[in-house]
Amino acid sequence: MFFTGAARTGKSLLLQAVIRALHQKYFKQPGSVAITASTGMAMSSIRGLTLHSWGAISPTSFDVNYHLKHIRHSKPVLQCWQMAKVLVINEDFFQLPPVSKKDKEPQFAFETWAWKHTLDHCINLVEVFRQKDPGNLNVAFIQALNSLCIGQPSTEAITLFNSLSRPLLLSSDSLSVMPTELFPLRKNVAEANLTHLMDLKSQIFKYVATDSGSHKLLLDSLLVEQSITLRLDAQVMLIKNVNESLVNGLVGTVIGFYHCWEFQYGSAATEDGVLRTEAILVKREEFRINGSESVVLAKRAQL
């Protein structure tokens, strides 16, 4: 079964109810229900695993025989596939375009032969909840968002989105960061980052990750790159929680390159007199790909 729907139609609520019902039905059969998602962000909302880590499927390889070989030679992964009676995949076709090889036209999953011969029911949720007042801006935003999702933005939607445009006020502080740019594909992100990096004239420092594990191709699904190139004054973002104050998504600027024994932490008083850390030493962190039963399939040590 497949179900989808516009914004505010209760997709997440319905999915959570389905997952609870499945766990109740198969509570005597551990491993029977596999809860997965296509991305780490979608995975966190349902407390599951990425589809790639659960099934040991590389997101960059389209070779079915390659995947079958690795699944058969990994007992924990093979058991996952054999024990699963229900596979839940949390995905949103409206968010990102499909990814394909360079020589092939991108294809959505619902355009394939397998989709037509596997799914018996396709359901589209249409009733939008929490919009009692037709004149409410929230309702207008939902309608604009839905028209944008299907690639047919209405005149009203375009007007609404344009009304939200405004100049960004940047601090004159040399340590201030530029606004974050958003792109649909990782290759677009890499191109933009490289462009900004090449605008800097300082010395280049390259950090190569240490990879290990029996399913290293799964590491391609991680946000952390195998090789990172940095320069002084380069803008960077944390992609993993380090502690309560250094959290995923925190943006900063590279102020220097140090050995652990050379670095000194700096702090400054804010307007309310409370000390805040201004400079931090970013060290290598371990990023893991866990399969079912928390089995580590692969891991990467990188900044």
- Whether 284 is covered by a domain: the verdict is yes
Using the 3D structure, point to which of 98, 125, 152 is the last residue of a domain: 125
**Residue spans of beta strands (DSSP E) within 82-144:** 86-90, 122-125
**Residue spans of beta strands (DSSP E) within 91-140:** 122-125
Residue 199 sits in the same domain as residue 89: no
- Whether 34 is covered by a domain: the verdict is yes
Phi-psi region of 273 (alpha: psi -120 to 50; beta: other; left: phi over 0): left
Nearest to 89 by CA among 125, 130, 54: 54
Residue 198 sits in the same domain as residue 291: yes
- Whether 94 is covered by a domain: the verdict is yes
Greatest Cα-to-Cα distance within the chain, rounded to the nearest angstrom: 65
- Whether 175 is covered by a domain: the verdict is no
Judge whether 117 and 124 are in contact, CB under 8 Å: no
Residue 190 sits in the same domain as residue 297: yes
As beta bridge partners, residue 138 has: none
Judge whether 203 and 254 are in contact, CB under 8 Å: no
- Whether 181 is covered by a domain: the verdict is no
DSSP-based three-state secondary structure for 271? coil
pTM beyond 0.85, yes or no: no
For residue 41, what pLDDT is reported?
67
| DSSP states along 3-50 | EEESTTSSHHHHHHHHHHHHHHHTTTSTTSEEEEESSHHHHHHHT-EE
Residue 264 is encoded by which pair of tokens?
Answer: 């000194």
For residue 274, what pLDDT is reported?
47
111 lies in which domain range? 2-125
Number of domains in the chain: 2
Alpha-carbon separation of residue 5 from 80, 94, 221, 292 (angstroms): 30, 10, 27, 30
Residue 194 sits in the same domain as residue 298: yes
Give the 3-state DSSP-derived string for 195-239, with helices as H, strands as E and coil as C: HHHHHCCCCEEEEECEEEECCHHHHHHCCCCCEEEEECCCEEECC
Per residue of the chain (303 residues), give pLDDT as tens: 999 988 788 898 999 999 999 999 999 998 899 999 887 767 767 778 888 888 888 776 677 888 888 888 888 888 889 999 999 999 888 777 777 766 677 788 888 899 999 899 999 998 877 655 555 557 788 888 888 888 888 899 999 999 988 887 765 554 467 778 888 778 889 899 999 999 998 999 999 999 998 777 778 778 889 999 999 989 888 888 777 777 777 888 888 888 766 655 544 444 444 445 467 788 888 888 776 666 787 889 998
As beta bridge partners, residue 296 has: 290
- Whether 149 is covered by a domain: the verdict is no
Q: Which residue has the tokens 């605008």?
A: 199
Structure letter (DSSP) for residue 185: S
State how beta strands 33-37 and 49-50 pair. parallel
Residue 97 sits in the same domain as residue 206: no
Residue 192 sits in the same domain as residue 279: yes
- Whether 204 is covered by a domain: the verdict is yes
Residue 200 sits in the same domain as residue 93: no
Residue 224 sits in the same domain as residue 119: no
Distance of CA 150 to the CA centre of its chain: 21
At position 192, the amino acid (one-letter code) is A
Nearest to 223 by CA among 285, 175, 171: 285
Neighbours of 107 (CB within 10 A): 10
Using the 3D structure, point to which of 83, 107, 125 is the last residue of a domain: 125
- Whether 22 is covered by a domain: the verdict is yes
- How far is residue 298's CA from residue 291's CA, in Å, rounded to a whole number? 9
Using the 3D structure, point to which of 84, 108, 125 is the last residue of a domain: 125
